[in-house]
Amino acid sequence: MASVMDDPTLARHFRGHTDAVTCADFSPTGKQLATGSVDTSLIVWNLAPKAHAVRFRGHQEALTDLQFSPTGDLVATSSEDTTVRLWTPCIEGESEVFRAHAAAVRSVSFSCDGQCLVTASDDHEVKVWSLSCRRLLYSLQRHSDVVRCARFSPDGRLIASCGDDGAVMLWDASSGQCVSCFTDCGGSVLFVDFNSSGTCLAASGQDSSLRIWDLRTSKLTHLYQVHSAVVNCFSFHPSNNYLISGSSDSTVKIADLLEGQVMYTLHGHKGPVLTSVFSRSGEEFVSGGVDGQVLVWRTNLDSRLYRDVLRGHSPKGVHRTILTVSLSLSLPPSLPLQIGPTLVDTVSHDRHIVDQTFYTHTVSPGQLRARSSRPCQPPYSLTELLYNVVIQSLL
């Protein structure tokens, strides 16, 4: 785990999809990462060093969502081809198909016991499926437009859904009755999810805002308006103290929910960020977007000393910006490199881009402090910084 003095750093950079990366999830053990794309493929990346990745094909149109089962032995995917598929993530082969909806399926989610799936669709319906019986249990039909996302609560007793009708609905999973509805969301709502304790529900959408309600009081407790474009996705840290969000403004932001402020802004993608999710341990998170990149970031947010470090190193009201700079380098083949503290994957003849993370206490692009394997004296201009990055061979 990163020390408490470290900021989030880019740990891994995967390229395998040929189009936008729309969805991602870590396995419960954290040893695998699944990603889905507009290129119609599912890729399961084994995160051990030098481990292989497996590409799964079966969907006829773009993947829209995916999730590992609670035991990690299955991956469920949804697609614009109107189907949901169940895959075994360690075997390359055919999948089991659910002819789920009459239109594109926008999301898929397992219940906490892994016995049910909930799906949301452009046909205005939310459907709940039994995996043991492989059949439809019931449909939820109160939305009046496309349903963008549906999620089970951590205890499996509730289902949350949202859509283009601007409503966030809360359903009793046993009776199928709508028990609450939040409508003051500023337009289409694209994503909804519970925190890990199930006490809070968050939603984001086209008005560039992210809202969090306390379900014990049904009151809006947080309203974040920190992105400059649509907020496509978010994920709660397992501690429930932090949240990451990805936006069409090309950034990922990390918010401290206890302090009520944004801590970091990450600039790693060239275009809208479509998916961002924490690992189950909270030590890593992944982001993917229209640029086809899959970025895995290492965090220290679970450190109990982190808040004190933040207070000691950042002026009140100022958050740090993290900028990923692509360096075009001519490198020998099969040379392991270390740039700063982060081990970069083995470089081959066809890979000449190495990503490195820089950070600053302010948002000014001209005042960057470099993280490197020798002491650097900030501030550097961006031009000066590129000449001061130390590349250390590990051979």
Average pLDDT over residues 110-124: 96
DSSP at 8: P
Residue 28's φ and ψ, nearest 5 degrees, are -55, -30
Average pLDDT over residues 309-318: 43
Task: Count other Cβ atoms within 10 Å, centred on residue 371.
Answer: 18
Residue 251 · residue 323 · CB < 8 Å: no
Q: How many whole angstroms separate alpha carbon 235 and alpha carbon 243? A: 6
Q: How does DSSP assign 341-353, residue by residue?
A: TEEEEEE-TT--E
Q: Is the pLDDT of residue 50 over 50?
A: yes
SS (H, E, C) 217-267: CCEEEEEECCCCCCEEEEEECCCCCEEEEEECCCCEEEEECCCCEEEEEEE
Which three-class secondary structure state does DSSP give residue 310? helix
Structure tokens at 310: 């933040």
Q: Minimal CA–CA distance to 232: which of 341, 348, 107?
A: 107
Q: How many whole angstroms separate alpha carbon 136 and alpha carbon 176? A: 13
Q: How many whole angstroms separate alpha carbon 149 and alpha carbon 140? A: 13
For residues 32 and 6, the model is more confident at 32
Structure tokens at 135: 């059949």
pLDDT band at 300 (very low <50, low <70, confident <90, very high): confident
Q: Label residue 224 exposed, middle or buried (CB < 10 Å: 0-12, 13-18, 19+).
A: buried
Q: Is the pLDDT of residue 378 over 50?
A: no
Strands 261-267, 320-328: pairing kind: parallel
For tokens 């918010």, name the residue. Answer: 255
Beta bridge partners of 98: 84
Q: What is the pLDDT of residue 302?
A: 62
Q: How does DSSP assign 106-123, residue by residue?
A: EEEEE-TTSSEEEEEETT
Q: Is the pLDDT of residue 294 over 50?
A: yes
Q: What is the pLDDT of residue 92?
A: 67
For residues 10 and 348, the model is more confident at 10
Q: Is the pLDDT of residue 204 over 50?
A: yes
Q: Is the pLDDT of residue 374 over 90?
A: no
Q: What is the pLDDT of residue 32?
A: 94
Residue 387's φ and ψ, nearest 5 degrees, are -85, -10
Which three-class secondary structure state does DSSP give residue 384? helix
Q: How many whole angstroms separate alpha carbon 272 and alpha carbon 288? A: 9
Structure tokens at 137: 């249990």
Q: Is the pLDDT of residue 361 over 70?
A: no
Q: How far is CA 80 from CA 86, 247, 248, 372, 374, in A?
A: 15, 21, 20, 44, 49
For tokens 């309600």, name the residue. Answer: 213
Q: Is the pLDDT of residue 79 over 50?
A: yes
Q: Is the pLDDT of residue 43 over 60?
A: yes
Q: What is the dihedral of CA 202, 206, 209, 210, to 10 degrees?
A: 10
Average pLDDT over residues 151-158: 96
Residue 24 · residue 297 · CB < 8 Å: no
Element (H, E) at 306: helix 306-313
Q: Which of 25-39, 231-245, 280-294, 368-382 is the least confident region?
A: 368-382
For residues 178 and 351, the model is more confident at 178
Q: Is the pLDDT of residue 33 over 70?
A: yes
Q: Is the pLDDT of residue 380 over 60?
A: no
Q: Which of 165-179, 260-274, 277-291, 347-361 is the least confident region?
A: 347-361
State how far Cα 115 lies from the chain centre. 24
pLDDT per residue as tens digits for the range 58-72: 999 999 999 999 999
* Average pLDDT of the residues of the chain: 79
Structure tokens at 60: 């006829």
